[in-house]
Structure 1
Amino acid sequence: MNAALLDKSRIKQSFAAASATYDQAAALQRRSAIDVTQLAETEGMQGSVLDLGCGTGNLAELLLSAECKPDIVIALDIAASMIEAARCKLNRKKGSKPALNYVCADAERLPFATDSLDGVYSNLALQWCDPLEKVLADLRRILKPGSPLIFSTFGPETLHELKSAWAKVDDLPHVNAFLHEQELMSFLQAAGFSACRIQRTLHISRYASVIDLMRELKQIGAHNSHLARPKNLTGKARMQAMSSAYERHRYGLSIPATFEILLVSARA
C-alpha cells in the first residue's frame, strides 16, 4: 500500500469496540492462529517473542501452550480493551513459563530496542499497518539476526464477492485493499529478511445473507478503514442494490465469502 491510505483512528476505534464480540465471531482467525503456531513450532521458538496485534489473545494462548515454548511472550495491541480482554483470558491459563507481558502500542511505532527479540508472530493483524514496508523494516530492526518473523495476513482475493457487489453501486472503496504475494515478498526482501516463504490458502465461509456477513465483520472489528471510504451512512436503496448484486453468488440457502490467507515466514 502507499502511505496514508488507512484511517488509523478508525482502526483503533473499530477493534476497541469489538473486544466484547470478537471471540464469538472469529472462527477463521482462530484457525489461522493455529497455522501460525504450528509453523512457529516448526521453525523453533526461544527467548523473548512478540505477539503483534494480539487482539483477545488467541495466538498468545497457543504460544503459551506450545510444546516448544519461548521464555517470554509479549502481547501487543493498539486497543486497550483488546489488551484487557487478552489479559482476562490468558491470566487464567498461564503457568510459570513462559512469562507474559502486555503492551498497548501501535505496530507502526514499536517500543522495542534494536536486536532485542527472538521472534515476532502475528495473526491477521499486519494488513492494518500502512505503509507495511516501514513496519517490516522496523520488525527487522527489533529482531535479533537470524530470528524468525511468522505472520498471517489477508490476500487480495479476500471479500472479492462483496467488493464486486459494491462496484455495481458506486466507485468508492467499500472493502479494504490487501497486498499480493509478490508485493509482500518484495517488501520483506527490501527490509533485509531472508529465507522468505509465503503459503496461500483460500477459505470459503457461507452466510444466510449479506447482513449476516456484514454483522460478523463488525463483530471482529473489520470495518472499511480506507481514507476514501464513504463517510456518510449508507442509504437503504444503495444497500439493497448491493445486496441484490451479491445475491447472484447465492447457491442454495447461502452466499459465499472468500478469505485469502497468506502465511508468511522469514528470517531477520
Structure 2
Amino acid sequence: MNLPLPSAAPRQTRPATPPDTDDLAANWQRRVARAFSRAASGYAEQAVAQAQMAQSLGDYFPAQARSIVDVGCGPGSLTPAIRRHYPEARLLGVDVTPAMLDEARRRHGANRVAGAGDNHWLCADAARLPLRDGSQDLVVSNLAIQWCLDLPAVLAEFARVTRRGGRTIVNTLAPGTLAEIDLAWSRPATSSGVLAFSDLATHRQAAALGGWRRIHISQRRERFYYADLAAVMASVKGVGAQVARDGVRLTRGDIERARSRYETLRTRRGLPVSYQCLTLVLEH
C-alpha cells in the first residue's frame, strides 16, 4: 500500500497537524482503507514506481530470517522478492485494507497450517500489530508508513516485534515527493492534495524515540515520466493514493491551468513525477 495524491483534482489529504482524538484517527484510517480498496484489483499493474523503489529493500536483507512480516503489504508486491531470499521463512503480510489482502491471497496463496514456507495475510493497523514481542527476524515495509498519523508509534511498534539481532527495513517518502503535481494543482487558499511528508531528521528522531539504537537512513530521488497529465493522474489514482475531501469541485479552467503548468515541466522523456525516497534500516 503506497503513495499519496489528489484524484483528478486537488484534494486535501493528511492534515498538517494529526487529529487529537482516537475518533479522528480511526476516521482517517477508514478513509485510507476505502481509497486503497477501490484500487486493489488493478494495483499491481499500476504500481510501477512503487515496484521500482521496492528493489532497494533487498540490498539490506539479512543473510537469514525465519519469521518475516511485511507491513502495508498491499496485494503482496514484495512476496516474490522475499521468497527468493527466504524460501523457507514464515511470511505474514499485514494491511488495513481487506480488498488488498484478498488480492494477495489470490496472487500468492495462503497455507492453512502454519510452518516454514507459508504465506499468511492479516488485516491490522501498523501501530497495533497483533504479534508477540520480539517474534520477527525481519520487518519490511514499502511506501506505507507515510499514511500513518503517529510515526513514532509505528516505529516503536516495529521495534517491539523485531527480535534482538533482527532488522526492520522501511521505504517511505520525504518532502519534495510529487513536487510537480503540487505545483500543477496548487490554487490560492486551497491545498494541492499532496500529502504532508516528514523529513529525514523527523524519521531519525521518531526511530530513536521508538527505541531503535542503530539507525541508518538514506535519501534518494526517483523520477518517472508520463505522456500527459491524464497519465500522471491515472498512475496515482490507480494505486489508491488519494483521500478526498468533500466539497472540492474542479472547473474546466482548473484542469486546463493544471495541464498548462505541468507542460512547462515537460522533458524529452515526458512529464516528470518525482519521489524523494527514504530508506530506513533499523536494529536494536
TM-score of the superposed pair, with normalisation by structure 1: 0.88
Is 1:114 the counterpart of 2:133 in the alignment? yes
Q: 1:184 and 1:32 mapped to 2: Cα distance?
A: 18
Q: Report the equivalent of 1:74.
A: 92
Secondary structure of residue in 1 paired with 2:55: helix
Given candidates 142, 148, 162, the residue that maps to 2:181 is 162
Contact 1:146/1:267 (8 A) holds in 2: yes
By how many angstroms is 1:252 displaced? Answer: 4.0
Unaligned runs of 5+ in 1: none
By how many angstroms is 1:152 displaced? Answer: 0.5
Tell me the matched-pair count: 260
Matched residue type, 1:50: V
By how many angstroms is 1:215 displaced? Answer: 1.0
Q: Report the equivalent of 1:237.
A: 253
Is 1:30 the counterpart of 2:48 in the alignment? no
Residues 265, 182 of structure 1: CA spacing in aligned structure 2 closer, same or farther, 3 A cutoff? same
Contact 2:35/2:243 (8 A) holds in 1: no
By how many angstroms is 1:64 displaced? Answer: 1.2
Contact 1:56/1:85 (8 A) holds in 2: yes
Contact 1:36/1:151 (8 A) holds in 2: yes
Given candidates 181, 184, 188, the residue that maps to 2:203 is 184
Deviation track 1:113-140 (CA, whole Å, cap 9, x = no partner) reads 2222222101111111111111111211
Secondary structure of residue in 1 paired with 2:165: coil
Root mean square deviation, CA, Å: 2.3
TM-score of the superposed pair, with normalisation by structure 2: 0.84
Q: Report the equivalent of 2:102.
A: 84
Is 1:250 the counterpart of 2:250 in the alignment? no
Deviation track 1:168-195 (CA, whole Å, cap 9, x = no partner) reads 4543241011111111111101111122
Q: 1:238 and 1:230 mapped to 2: Cα distance?
A: 17
Contact 1:168/1:245 (8 A) holds in 2: no
Q: 1:2 and 1:69 mapped to 2: Cα distance?
A: 42
- Higher relative contact order structure (alpha carbons within 8 Å, sequence separation ≥ 6): 2
Q: Which runs of structure 2 are paired with 1:101-180 in the superposition (5 Å)? A: 101-180=120-199
By how many angstroms is 1:253 displaced? Answer: 6.6
Q: 1:170 and 1:245 mapped to 2: Cα distance?
A: 18
Given candidates 237, 242, 252, the residue that maps to 1:223 is 242
Contact 2:215/2:281 (8 A) holds in 1: yes
Q: 1:255 and 1:207 mapped to 2: Cα distance?
A: 5
Matched residue type, 2:77: N
By how many angstroms is 1:91 displaced? Answer: 2.3
Residues 108, 45 of structure 1: CA spacing in aligned structure 2 closer, same or farther, 3 A cutoff? same
Q: 2:84 and 2:68 mapped to 1: Cα distance?
A: 14
By how many angstroms is 1:13 displaced? Answer: 0.7
Contact 2:126/2:157 (8 A) holds in 1: no
